[in-house]
Amino acid sequence: NAGVTQTPKFRVLKTGQSMTLLCAQDMNHEYMYWYRQDPGMGLRLIHYSVGEGTTAKGEVPDGYNVSRLKKQNFLLGLESAAPSQTSVYFCASSQSNEQYFGPGTRLTVT
């Protein structure tokens, strides 16, 4: 039981490039989330999903897109990366009370 996994762990992008971050969970959870965390701050919700095939906007959705084609996977896409998107990205999943977080992806946009 791996819990929540994220790939890649690190990535450096040039401004304007695109990429997709993958989150996978093996706990059969309905809900999945993408957060970003900037230095010295708490996590902010980007997008979330309440079930397969659904997505919704969180607090800071601009510049990101998501897809939940399979229940176990939640993809976060950056179509045209900007330096302001340099951050650590955390994925989480939950069934009811507690959210389980992945180890994070550290993204740098130059």
Partner 1 sequence: DAKTTQPPSMDCAEGRAANLPCNHSTISGNEYVYWYRQIHSQGPQYIIHGLKNNETNEMASLIITEDRKSSTLILPHATLRDTAVYYCIVYMEYGNKLVFGAGTILRVKS
By CB under 8 A, name the binding residues for partner 1: 4, 31, 33, 35, 40-45, 48, 50, 58-59, 88, 90, 92, 94, 96-104
Q: What is the smallest separation between the CB atom of 66 and partner 1, expressed in angstroms? A: 15
Q: What is the smallest separation between the CB atom of 18 and partner 1, expressed in angstroms? A: 25
User: Hey, what are 71's tokens?
Assistant: 């229940």
| Shorter beta-carbon distance to partner 1: residue 92 or 109 | 92
| Shorter beta-carbon distance to partner 1: residue 11 or 44 | 44
Tell me, rounded to whole angstroms, the distance of Cα 9 from its chain centroid.
12
Q: What is the smallest separation between the CB atom of 60 and partner 1, expressed in angstroms? A: 12
Start-to-end Cα distance in the chain: 36
- 68 near 48, Cβ under 8 Å? no
| Shorter beta-carbon distance to partner 1: residue 12 or 15 | 12
Q: CA angle, corner 100, sides to 96 and 20, nearest 5?
A: 115
**Closest alpha carbon to 34 in 71, 75, 69, 5:** 75
